[in-house]
Amino acid sequence: DRIMISPGPGSPADAGISNDVIRSFAGRLPILGVCLGHQCIYEVYGGTVDRSGEIVHGKTSQMQHDGRGVFAGIEGDFAGTRYHSLVGVPSTLPDVLEVTATVSGTDMIQGVRHKQLCVHGVQFHPESIVSDHGYKIV
List the catalytic residue out of 38, 114, 125, 133. Answer: 125
Catalytic annotation present for 40: no
By the 10 Å C-beta count (0-12 exposed, 13-18 middle, 19+ buried), 114 is classed as: buried
Distance of CA 36 to the CA centre of its chain: 8
Task: Say whether 19 sits in a helix, a strand or coil.
Answer: helix
Q: How far apart are CA 44 and CA 56, in angstroms?
A: 24
Catalytic annotation present for 35: yes
Catalytic annotation present for 98: no
List the catalytic residue out of 35, 84, 114, 120. Answer: 35
Please give the full DSSP string across 30-43, using - where no structure is assigned.
-EEEETHHHHHHHH
* Cβ neighbours of 27 (radius 10 Å): 12
Catalytic residue numbers read: 35, 125, 127
